[in-house]
Amino acid sequence: MRRAVPKLPSWLPVDGYILALVGTVALAALLPARGPAATVADGASTGAVALLFFLYGARLSTREAWDGLRHWRLHLTVLACTFVLFPVLGLAARGLVPYVLPPTLYTGLLFLCLVPSTVQSSIAFTSLARGNVAAAICAGSFSSIVGIVVTPLLAGLVLHGGGGFSAGSLLSIVCQLLLPFVAGQLLRRWVGGFIARHKKALGYVDRGSILLVVYTAFSAGMVQGIWHQVSPLRLLCLLGVEAVLLAVMLTATSYGAKKLGFPRADRIAITFAGSKKSLAAGLPMASVLFGAQAGLAVLPLMLFHQMQLMVCAVLAKRCAAGAEPEPRRESTPAATAAGGSTDPVRVPGPATAPAPAAR
C-alpha cells in the first residue's frame, strides 16, 4: 500500500519564487558584488529594470484599460486606499521612531506605503473569494500605471532627503521606468503578438530581472555595512508593525466599501486590491530611488508581501465558503489586461478556482 505524502497546509502559500528571493538575499550576503563586478551588476540591473517596464507597457491593452474606467467609483476607492490611506498610516508610524523602529527601517516602511497595488494576487484572491474579477484586474492595472508617476512624486514629498530622493532620482525614474513603459505601449501593435506567444519565457525574464535587482541592492548594502544597523529584535518589531498595518487596511477596505454601498462582489475586489502592495513594482523603484540603501528599503516590502499572501489566502477561502453558489462566469475581454505584472505569487485554493493571468 502506498504511503500518502504529507502536504503543507493549503492556507500556507509557500511560493518557490519567494524562496528564490530569500536565496538571492543569502547569496548577496555571502558573495556580494564588489569593485568591477559591482559596476557590471549595477549596469545589468539598470537595463533589466528598463526591460521590465517595457514589457509591462507592451502587455497592457490600452483599450481594455480605458474600458474599465466605466467602474470609476470602485477604481477611485482602490486608488484612495493605495495612495492616500496607506501613506497617511505610514506617516503616522513615524511616532514609532526610534523606540520601535530605527530610521532606516522606518524609511523602508514608509516607502512600502507608497508603492502601487498588486495585480496577480488581487485577481487570484478576488476570484477565489467569488468577487468581481474584472474589477480587480482593472483596479490593479490602473494602480500600477498611476504608481509609475505617483510613487516617485509621493517619495519626493514624504521621504525628503532621508531616502536619497532628489531631482536626479526623479530623472532616473522617468528614464528607467516611465519612458520604457510608454515605449512598450507605443510599440505594442508590433511586439504584442510576439510577447503573447512567448508569455512563459518572458515571465522568466521578468522574474530574473527582479532577482538581479534584489542581488544588486543587497550586495551594495553588504559592502557598505548597512545590515549592522538592524538587530533581530528590530526585525521582530517590524513584523509586528506590518501585521497591524495589514489588519488596519483589510478592515478599512472591507468596512469602507460596505459603507459606500458597493455590492458584495465589488467589496471583495476593493478589499483585496486596496490592501496590497506590489513587490514587482516596488523593487525596481527602490533600486532607482535609494541606490546603496535599497537593501534595507525593500526589506519591509518583501516581508509585507509574504505576510499579505498568507493572510489573504485564509480570508479568501473564508469568503468563498460563506458565499452563495453562483454560475461560472465567462471570461471577459478585460482579463487580458492582467498580462503586465510579475508579482511572484502562487495562490493556494481549490482546483476549481480559475487561474489568474501571469502578472
Which pLDDT band holds residue 68 (cuts at 50, 70, 90)?
low
The domains located in the chain, with CATH, are 16-321 (1.20.1530.20)
Asked whether residue 81 carries a pLDDT value surpassing 90, the answer given is: yes
What does the mean pLDDT of the chain come to? 78
- For residues 194 and 185, give the distance between their C-alpha atoms in angstroms, rounded to a whole number: 14
Asked whether residue 304 carries a pLDDT value surpassing 80, the answer given is: yes
Asked whether residue 162 carries a pLDDT value surpassing 90, the answer given is: no
Tell me, what's the pLDDT at 143? 86
pTM of the predicted structure, to 2 decimals: 0.73
Which of 94-98, 172-176, 271-275 bottoms out in mean pLDDT, i.e. has the lowest? 172-176
User: Cβ contacts of residue 351 below 8 Å, gap of 6+?
Assistant: none
Asked whether residue 225 carries a pLDDT value surpassing 60, the answer given is: yes
Tell me, what's the pLDDT at 345? 46
> What totals of helices (H) and strands (E) does the chain contain, helices first?
15, 0
Tell me, what's the pLDDT at 281? 82
Share of residues in the chain with pLDDT > 70 (%):
75
Burial of 336 (0-12, 13-18, 19+ CB in 10 A): middle
**H/E segment holding residue 22:** helix 16-30
- For residues 314 and 30, give the distance between their C-alpha atoms in angstroms, rounded to a whole number: 35
Tens digits of per-residue pLDDT, 34-56?
888 888 888 888 888 788 778 87
CA 262 to chain centre: 25
Which pLDDT band holds residue 217 (cuts at 50, 70, 90)?
confident
Tell me, what's the pLDDT at 352? 41
- For residues 86 and 83, give the distance between their C-alpha atoms in angstroms, rounded to a whole number: 6
Tens digits of per-residue pLDDT, 4-23?
434 444 444 556 667 787 88
- For residues 68 and 352, give the distance between their C-alpha atoms in angstroms, rounded to a whole number: 26
Average pLDDT for 310-337: 65
Average pLDDT for 98-119: 91
The closest of 132, 147, 22 to 73, measured between CA atoms, is 132
- For residues 356 and 335, give the distance between their C-alpha atoms in angstroms, rounded to a whole number: 9
Average pLDDT for 326-353: 44
Length of the chain: 359
Asked whether residue 202 carries a pLDDT value surpassing 60, the answer given is: yes
